[in-house]
Structure 1
Amino acid sequence: WVPVHGQYAYARDTPGANPVFEVYLTNTGRTARTFTSVTLNGRLLDQPLLAAILPQHIQLDGARAVLPVPRSADPEVLWWDFLPGSELQPGQTTVLKVLFTGVPRPHGTIVARDSDGVETSMRVPRCTPGQPAITAITFARDGGRMFVKTECPGALPAAIWVDGRRAARFATYALPAAPQACIASLDVPAALRPGYPVDVRVRFDNGRERRAMVRMLNRMVLDMPGPHKPTRRLARELQVDSEPLAAPVAVDACCADLRADALGLSAWNVVGIRRQMTRRDPGKLAGFAYCTGATPGSWRIYGHIADAVYAKPYRFGWGHVPENFLDEEQEWIGITRDTAAPLPFLYIPERFRKRGRFLRPAELEATCWTAVLMGAKGIRYHFGLNARGLDDTPALIPSIIAINRRVRELEAVLCQLIPVGGDRQPTGDGGTVSVLSAWAVDHGAIFLVRDATPGALAEDIPPTRLDVVLTLDVPAWCQSDGIVDLATGSVLACNRLSGRATATLPALSGWRLLWAPALESGRKMVDGGIMDVQRGG
């Protein structure tokens, strides 16, 4: 065990972002330990929590919205919290997260004090770029294996610990488009419980270390909440969860902050309600929901405030160019994911009428599969502004059923799926396709091919493009001559050159999922060490 470790939370491409500093605290004693206070440079940090004031609400768009709690009085701290909580049993770890208000700079010393008066201190260093990172953590459906994506220029993972236990063996898979990144695949060395926190520690072969704490999410969450829940018969047909492993924190923080012209004003609401949710159900993820009112400021403030995040861009209704909303949606999904990495993220597709029509079936399907290929571990179908729920969008019911059925069929793959890249490619007839790729290294690689020509999916039956030639990054541990069209089951004709495969899709109408199964040798493990199955190949 390492009793204390400090680092800045991972944040991609956010120069000048509000830095979240994390202090990992492990109880190495034999009795329970409860942290009761935190100081920064000798100043006691306050917490204006919901429990300390009378609840106040307003009606907002037909729903009850919580009014913001006053800001913290400390000039350097916007919010702070222990996740998952301040009480630690022997062997357990919590993370003290502190969001500073200013640009990265040294902030002195943080001290956490427990109920026995024992203090644990951590010097806060300068926030500098180029730090190693853990950018994704996923789990096999049976919970016996896990997958950790790391980034550390010039270095590979040399050792991995899970809840304080060192993995006896693991393999690494290099990413073709990111030479500084890899995916480590390992047998879980500790007993894990779905929905509960997992402490991951990685030591790289250059001696640097990185920690991450995520909640175990080893199934795809399919949720349909609210007053318009489907009937039991339709719920079974839709294959939605009766008890989903995740739920959003009920605070519309992004819009509330914008209305008040005060970014971060809702942070303490989120902290307080997240704590209430965790106390009520400690095995359920509480996720922060970014709405269409999200800004770079809110992305920097709220990414690490809960157990997960929900991407809710609504780019068709509120985007700048409706005919290109799928590209905008994809961009926002990626930003949402990166603001919280390696915490899991889930997706809320747009389902209401804002621009004179609802989404077309192909648009709904494409947005949901885009989110899944970008790493989403769940879909939450939202009925905001739908007076009659599913009855308002009968044309979308078959699409929801088809999406959920395929998600359940592929759940063993999608649970451990990690996104690895994407690009745009021209078609021979003057159009454009978007290609996203993701890996489930125990199973294979999956690709989403979408017709990216503006307006192509806006018809009830999208136009068909014939003989679409694709260039795919098929990893060396997959069968390059066995790429399967999951819609038809047919095997595509392929040619492989320098690690890339050229495949011809006979017909493309809207979007398509392609699958490259793994070679048996690609899953080989090496006892007590690392097998780099793709480095240089």
Structure 2
Amino acid sequence: MNWTQGLLFAVLSSLAAGLAWAEDEKPLSNDVVVTAQWRADVASGAGFVTMDLFLTHTGSLPVIFRRLSGVDSNGAPDAAMETNVVWKRFYPTTAVEPGGTILAQWNFRRAPRAPQWVCLEAEGYAPLRVALPPYREGGPRLEAIVFSGDGRQAYVQYRYGRAPPTAVLVNGREVIFRTRRADGMTAPDLAACDLPEPLTTGAKAHVRMRFKDGTTAHGLVRVWRGLLLDAYLCNRPEDRRALGLDAEPGVIFPRAAFQGDVACFDVRQGTNGAAAVAVEAERPALLAGQPDKLLGIHYCTSMSSGFWNLYGALADVAMASPYRLTHAADVRRFLDDEIALMERARLSVRPGYWMWIPDVFQRRARFMEPEELRVLTWTALAKGCKGLKYFAWHLDDPKQFGFDRNPALTEAIKAQNVVLRRWADRLAPLVAVREETHGDARAGYVQYTAWSGERGVLTVVRNLKYVTDGQANAEGAPRFRVYPKTNVTVKVRVPGWLKSVRVEDLLTGEPLPETPTPGGVEVRLPRLAAVCVLWAAPGGASPAAEAPAGRAPTNVATDVLPLSGEPSLLTAAGWQWVQISLLALVLVGFTVWVVRRRRRSRL
């Protein structure tokens, strides 16, 4: 949709709202600014696309929405549109406070190629008809919104190559931010934002980023801080303390749909989207008494091409649980398969959060081995994973065993949790930046780069030359065997805004000699076994070179942004602007004429 279509969309929506002025109820458009944005797909062309309609309240009293419906251009119910809708809802609540924003969301089976009329109903207001723009890909996107451990900083990863950001608003207030560029890595850039006050876990965070060409990108998440360390079926406080798990997990799951297992539930029901109805019906009551909890779903072993598009926007957190060791037909490269499905989960929730469920239980001949778990854990963290929920501590099942039956694996999980908790402040704000394979896909190594806000760069180097299988560990001999590499030179990708004073092995604390090179530094690894985790500590950053001047906070009521993805009208061709202006004047005049005619007819 170009800027011309965007203006027509706004004018038509205003026309629809104007027709409601003749009614006794207050026009909703007086107090709510509507902005439309399509979510990014994971599998392009697979269907199940989601529309995010941002409803920003500019009035003085709370607004409570009560209904979403599809209508035609005349306002009559549109049954054909409703059959194309898999799920719809207001998120995270139906109420929006003055200055706040919530979402109205629709997930469509097939991407609409023409405008779709919808009706928004709120208590005390006349219904508002809005034309959703046709589906399109591209435009500016917020790839991730993460927070520092104390909630005082937000790190917004964005992708837009046409213009730099000029303003960032968080919950309607303009914040001071620093642009951190990816320096030609074909990766998203980052805005490091200083928040006026800390945001707590579970709080709503609406981020709006305005670019120099007038376009905007939006994202809304419920805040997550830190790393989740949890395990299924581990409920006794003494067991949780011994394993190093969170005393009170911050992510909860619905009872419906196999406790949030949306994939397997849909397969059992034989219908795509069956779990969405069940999960959404339970969500408001589940979170009502636990505002500091996030709601999770998980992607289990069943999946289809459109599955990621269907469920990525449904919950606060999506858990990746591919279970490739315990469920895949061929486990000889199960680590690579598991990581590939982690990536799908990550892409599905943008700009929200994903976490991982390791299958550390025995369903076949053996358990996952400690080194396999270590490789997968650090790879997940480098992909921006925000926590782990191990499956499972104890299983009362004669055919399956929890990891309480495997002392070596239990000790490895304890040790791993100690390390993760120690470095949580570095790991929690990580955003994935780059993935690159060096050499052969089965004999070389893959390097993952992630930024920890402005604190530093995490680099995970994974050896691809390994063999494994699903057979039993004969006399304790590991099935996962790696062929170590020696004297490996790794280029740590250090962006220009961060000057690394030293690179160290994060797990041992050992500093590594470095050699400056364009785009980063080179370090030599004397030995690369299964995985190596490097930390590039920051030196003197230079915010003045990248950061625009700080602005005073701006109230949302006086700072209405243009439609998402549309350039400023000031940059448009003059003759086209004149044409559209005339059309707008005609339509506005027609609206006024209709209103006056209706009012006279009542007298």
**Does 1:419 pair with 2:432?**
yes
**Does 1:154 pair with 2:159?**
no
User: What is the SS of the residue equivalent to 1:413?
Assistant: helix
Distance 1:165 1:365, change over 3 A: same
Contact 1:139–1:416, Cα closer than 8 Å, also in 2: yes
User: What is the SS of the residue equivalent to 1:266?
Assistant: helix
Q: Comparing 519-528 with 258-267, which one deviates more in the overlay?
A: 519-528
- Could you tell me which of 316, 319, 322 is aligned with 1:313? 322
Contact 1:481–1:495, Cα closer than 8 Å, also in 2: no
Give 1:55's aligned residue. none
- Could you tell me which of 377, 383, 391 is aligned with 1:382? 391
- Could you tell me which of 407, 410, 420 is aligned with 1:394? 407
CA deviation profile, 1:327-375 (whole Å, cap 9, x unmatched): 1111100111101101111111111223411100011111122111101
- Could you tell me which of 126, 151, 156 is aligned with 1:118? 126
Q: Comparing 406-415 with 22-31, which one deviates more in the overlay?
A: 22-31
Please give the alpha-carbon distance, in whole angstroms, between the structure 1 residues aligned to 2:531 and 2:516: 23
Contact 2:394–2:404, Cα closer than 8 Å, also in 1: no
Contact 1:484–1:490, Cα closer than 8 Å, also in 2: yes
Give 1:515's aligned residue. 535
Give 1:97's aligned residue. 105
Give 1:278 deviation, angstroms: 2.0
One-letter amino acid matched to 1:515: W
User: What is the SS of the residue equivalent to 1:17?
Assistant: coil
Give 1:533's aligned residue. none
CA deviation profile, 1:395-431 (whole Å, cap 9, x unmatched): 111221122111111111112111101122249xx93
User: What is the SS of the residue equivalent to 1:477?
Assistant: coil
Distance 1:522 1:395, change over 3 A: farther
- Could you tell me which of 332, 343, 347 is aligned with 2:356? 347
Spell out the pairing of 1:68-467 with structure 2 (5 A cutoff).
Answer: 74-167=82-175, 169-176=176-183, 178-179=185-186, 181-226=188-233, 228-229=234-235, 231-249=236-254, 250-383=259-392, 386-387=395-396, 389-426=402-439, 431-455=443-467, 459=479, 464-467=484-487
Give 1:529 deviation, angstroms: 5.1
Distance 1:30 1:486, change over 3 A: same
One-letter amino acid matched to 2:340: E
Give 1:380 deviation, angstroms: 0.7
Give 1:101 deviation, angstroms: 1.9
One-letter amino acid matched to 2:142: I
Distance 1:74 1:121, change over 3 A: closer
**Does 1:503 pair with 2:503?**
no
Please give the alpha-carbon distance, in whole angstroms, between the structure 2 residues aligned to 1:234 and 1:523: 46
- Could you tell me which of 509, 528, 531 is aligned with 1:489? 509
Distance 1:518 1:469, change over 3 A: same
Give 1:7 deviation, angstroms: 0.9
Contact 2:143–2:158, Cα closer than 8 Å, also in 1: yes
Give 1:289 deviation, angstroms: 0.8
Give 1:176 deviation, angstroms: 4.0
Give 1:490 deviation, angstroms: 2.0
Distance 1:73 1:121, change over 3 A: closer
Give 1:501 deviation, angstroms: 3.0
Q: Comparing 445-454 with 140-149, which one deviates more in the overlay?
A: 445-454
CA deviation profile, 1:190-213 (whole Å, cap 9, x unmatched): 552221211111111111111111
Give 1:52's aligned residue. none
One-letter amino acid matched to 1:409: R
**Structure 1: runs of 5 or more not aligned:** 47-71, 531-537
Give 1:158 deviation, angstroms: 1.2
Please give the alpha-carbon distance, in whole angstroms, between the structure 2 residues aligned to 1:213 and 1:96: 11
Normalising by structure 1, report the TM-score.
Answer: 0.87
Contact 1:19–1:103, Cα closer than 8 Å, also in 2: yes
Distance 1:172 1:179, change over 3 A: farther
Give 1:179 deviation, angstroms: 4.1
Give 1:146 deviation, angstroms: 0.8
Contact 2:39–2:49, Cα closer than 8 Å, also in 1: yes
One-letter amino acid matched to 1:84: P
Give 1:378 deviation, angstroms: 1.0
User: What is the SS of the residue equivalent to 1:329?
Assistant: helix
Root-mean-square deviation (CA, aligned residues, Å) is 2.6
One-letter amino acid matched to 1:466: T
Distance 1:277 1:288, change over 3 A: same
Give 2:53's aligned residue. 23
Please give the alpha-carbon distance, in whole angstroms, between the structure 1 residues aligned to 2:462 and 2:215: 40
User: What is the SS of the residue equivalent to 1:370?
Assistant: helix
Please give the alpha-carbon distance, in whole angstroms, between the structure 1 residues aligned to 2:211 and 2:227: 30
Give 1:261 deviation, angstroms: 3.1
User: What is the SS of the residue equivalent to 1:371?
Assistant: helix
Give 1:51's aligned residue. none
Counting matched residue pairs gives 500
Give 1:385 deviation, angstroms: 8.4
Please give the alpha-carbon distance, in whole angstroms, between the structure 2 residues aligned to 1:499 and 1:437: 13
- Could you tell me which of 42, 58, 64 is aligned with 1:34? 64
Q: Percent identity?
A: 27
Give 1:503 deviation, angstroms: 1.7
Give 2:44's aligned residue. 14
Structure with the higher fraction of residues in helix conformation: 2
CA deviation profile, 1:290-333 (whole Å, cap 9, x unmatched): 11112222212111011121111111222353121111111100
Contact 2:501–2:537, Cα closer than 8 Å, also in 1: no
User: What is the SS of the residue equivalent to 2:426?
Assistant: helix
Give 1:535's aligned residue. none
Distance 1:452 1:343, change over 3 A: same
Q: Comparing 434-443 with 315-324, which one deviates more in the overlay?
A: 315-324
**Structure 2: runs of 5 or more not aligned:** 1-30, 470-477, 552-603
User: What is the SS of the residue equivalent to 1:102?
Assistant: coil
Give 1:49's aligned residue. none
CA deviation profile, 1:25-53 (whole Å, cap 9, x unmatched): 1232222221111221235599xxxxxxx
Please give the alpha-carbon distance, in whole angstroms, between the structure 2 residues aligned to 1:401 and 1:180: 35
